[in-house]
Amino acid sequence: MVEFFIFIFIVVILVALGWGLLGMLKGGKSGSDKMFKSLVTRVVLSVILFALVMFAAYMGWIEPNNVILDAPTQ
């Protein structure tokens, strides 16, 4: 479940970043505004995601990537 939220966060962050790129491509006052707002959104979401990952790890909801995936039967 936590992994799902993390994945959604990353997708939204990528969308915000892409939105910012479109603003930069457009140029002018409206493009500049669009870019700035998108990048602010990107930064805020990224900080929240980092806090979420750290909190989830602290609570034991997620574990580092060191689990055995498919160990063969000996």
Partner 1 sequence: MSAQEYYIPNGTYWPIVGSVGVSTLFVGFANQMHGASWGGSVMAIGFAILVFMMFGWFGQVVNESVNGNYNNQVDRSFRWGMSWFIFSEVMFFAAFFGALFYARQLSVPWLGGADNNLFTPELWNGFSATWQQVAMNTPAAISQAGMEYSVPVKLVDTWGLPALNTLLLLLSGVTLTFAHHALREGKRNQIVGWLVATIVLGVLFLGFQIAEYGHAYHDGLKLTSGIYGSTFYMLTGFHGFHVTVGAIMLTVILYRVQKGHFSADSHFGFEGVAWYWHFVDVVWLGLFVFVYWV
Considering the rule CB under 8 A, would residue 29 count as an interface residue with partner 1?
yes
Considering beta carbons, is residue 59 or 66 the nearer one to partner 1?
66
What is the b/e burial string over 27-54, where b = at least 16 CB atoms within 10 angstroms of the residue's CB? eeeeeeebbeebbebbeebeeebeebbe
Q: Do the beta carbons of residue 18 and residue 39 sit within 8 Å?
A: no
Binder among 1, 27, 34, 60 for partner 1 (CB under 8 A): 27
Interacting residues toward partner 1 by CB under 8 A: 3, 6-7, 10, 13-14, 17, 20-21, 24-25, 27, 29, 32, 35-36, 39-40, 42-43, 46-47, 49-50, 53-54, 57, 62, 64-74
